[in-house]
A and B are shown apart, each in its own frame.
Chain A
């Protein structure tokens, strides 16, 4: 199909234009400069007539380009008219004519400093809201727990066991593998650097204390937050999206008691067990590397470990686990219940849940460090 053309002829202050060919979307790119060229001269013209009788095909693109030209001229006080418009295209042309085609100017962006301050302020209020929500969730959880303690038969034991399998039992292989590797890497780095001043053997102290007091529980909690916390958020979020949570409420059940309490209790049971398993795996990995890479035999390793760490080091680590579990569970469930109708919000909340729970796990670990230091352990 031939591209459209625009033939112009000027008589005094009157301009006569004849449009021919095909004025359609695929030719719009070549037509626009044609239209721009004829509309450039506005001052000397008093009246314009566009003859469209010889247009073979017209669509909204062509119609708008013609209309745009007409509007430019009439904006300068010209008389404009369209000649020879066929019946087929009359409706189309009128539809285009009816539109304003004007975009309201974009609202002015505020000053960059102000915009930054504004976003900081908004974030801070969000943080405040999060803390309030977390406290609220903790309160609801305690109330639900107290209620269950008073009427133990209402506790959803099956549900808890199900979650225990998913967040505890199923997590064992990956936790063991990860902590084994962490222990091995710690030992390797320790030996590599301690060797330069002949203190290889102290690697056992380092691995033992670090793993039992800090690394074991923190690594396990990060893994649990990423693996189980995100799953909790996604599950609760999709239940919220499909109004299942509301359905529970209308039947007279408390979602915290039915959905959240079994999940968090499962975490509180699972995380200490996983921490114990993880710590043992890390020590095993450390011992393995000490033997193969550092030449410290298992017997030496064991006796050195016996001197370096006490049951207290282990207790310091393991006592943190249930608290971490509660934090992970609370954040995951809180974010899950905040999911709105759309799938995007589900994704965003799941991400938020993992980021916030890992952050809080590390903050909590720091608080524990301060606490243990002040009581002298």
Chain B
């Protein structure tokens, strides 16, 4: 039953999203293929997070269709929607760990709710997830408020991975991390994506992680996808915004060398 590789796992067509009178997204077409890491970039306020939040159902849309695992979200019944919820994990920008629960209980929360496992297995799986994201099992008993920013992101990633999702949404995973932690986090996402075979959709501003992690990049501007493709294609693009984004002051010299070489 494993779908063929390169099949579309998320398909968004002509998506329109309004915030009161303001049109944020105006006819977005984008797809996420199985097993790839897709990065959303765009100016602040271009609607990257809005697009991601609309896909996961946190924001209402005005028009358009969203298909996830081949199911049109508008036509799905409650059970189908719940089944879809179980097959994706979301890492929020600030982690969004439940502050009243320990890290371990945070990870066990979806496990207990959905899978009804024995206490022993649930705990073992929570510890396994902690170790997979590079945290010590001791973190299990700590509260989110006792963790550093980098650890919160990792713990939140462990919770997002709790049910072994097929899709992982990452909202600015490296924001607020120092360059070393950000680099480690990128590497972590890459290894997890490879070992677990997840498809990842990430919203990011971090040019380094775009380079290192993403297979494909979709650029949002004026409420539409203005370009989508591999990093090499982005670097070659003559679109003014893309030029200034990928060749601006913040872009590293070595990327240009790498792309040209």
Contact = CB atoms under 8 A, between A and B. Distances in A.
A pairs with B: yes
A32 B118 contact: yes
A333 B261 CA distance: 63
B115 A26 contact: yes
How big is the B interface, by class?
A: 20 to 34
A60 B124 contact: no
B43 interface: no
B80 interface: no
A39 to B, nearest CB: 13
Interface of B: 1-2, 99, 104, 114-118, 121, 123-125, 127-129, 131-132, 137-138, 140-141, 145, 163-164, 191, 194-197
Interface in A88-114: 88, 91-92, 94-96, 98-104, 106
Nearest to B131: A99
Interface string A21-43: 00011101100100000000000
Given A25-B164, A64-B128, A91-B194, A102 B121 contact: no
A342 interface: yes
Contact of A99 (B104, B127, B145): B127
Contacts of A150: none
Given A26-B115, A91-B195, A95-B132, A342 B127 contact: no
A-B interface, 8 closest residue pairs, ranked by CB to CB distance from nearest: A99-B131, A91-B195, A59-B164, A92-B195, A25-B164, A95-B195, A101-B124, A101-B127
Contacts of B141: 106
B164 A60 contact: yes
A68 B124 CA distance: 10
Given A57-B2, A100-B137, A29 B117 contact: yes
A323 interface: no
Interface string A196-224: 00000000000000000000000000000
A270 to B, nearest CB: 36
Nearest to A36: B118
B128 A103 contact: no
A189 to B, nearest CB: 43
Contacts of A26: 115
A344 interface: yes
Contact of A103 (B118, B127, B164): B127
Contacts of A100: 127, 131, 137
Q: Is the interface of A mostly helix, strand, loop or mixed?
A: helix
B145 A342 contact: yes
Contacts of B131: 98-101
Contacts of B1: 1, 56
Interface string A60-88: 11001100100000000000000000001
Nearest to A91: B195
Given A32-B118, A60-B164, A96 B128 contact: yes
A163 B252 CA distance: 52
Given A29-B115, A59-B164, A106-B141, A64 B124 contact: yes
A18 to B, nearest CB: 21
Given A98-B131, A106-B141, A61 B125 contact: yes
Nearest to A94: B195
Among B104, B116, B163, max chain A CB count under 10 A is at B163
Contact of A60 (B2, B99, B140, B196): B196
Contacts of B104: 103
Nearest to A31: B121
A103 B125 CA distance: 11
A219 B244 CA distance: 64
Contacts of B117: 28-29, 32
Contacts of A24: 164
A130 to B, nearest CB: 22
A121 to B, nearest CB: 23
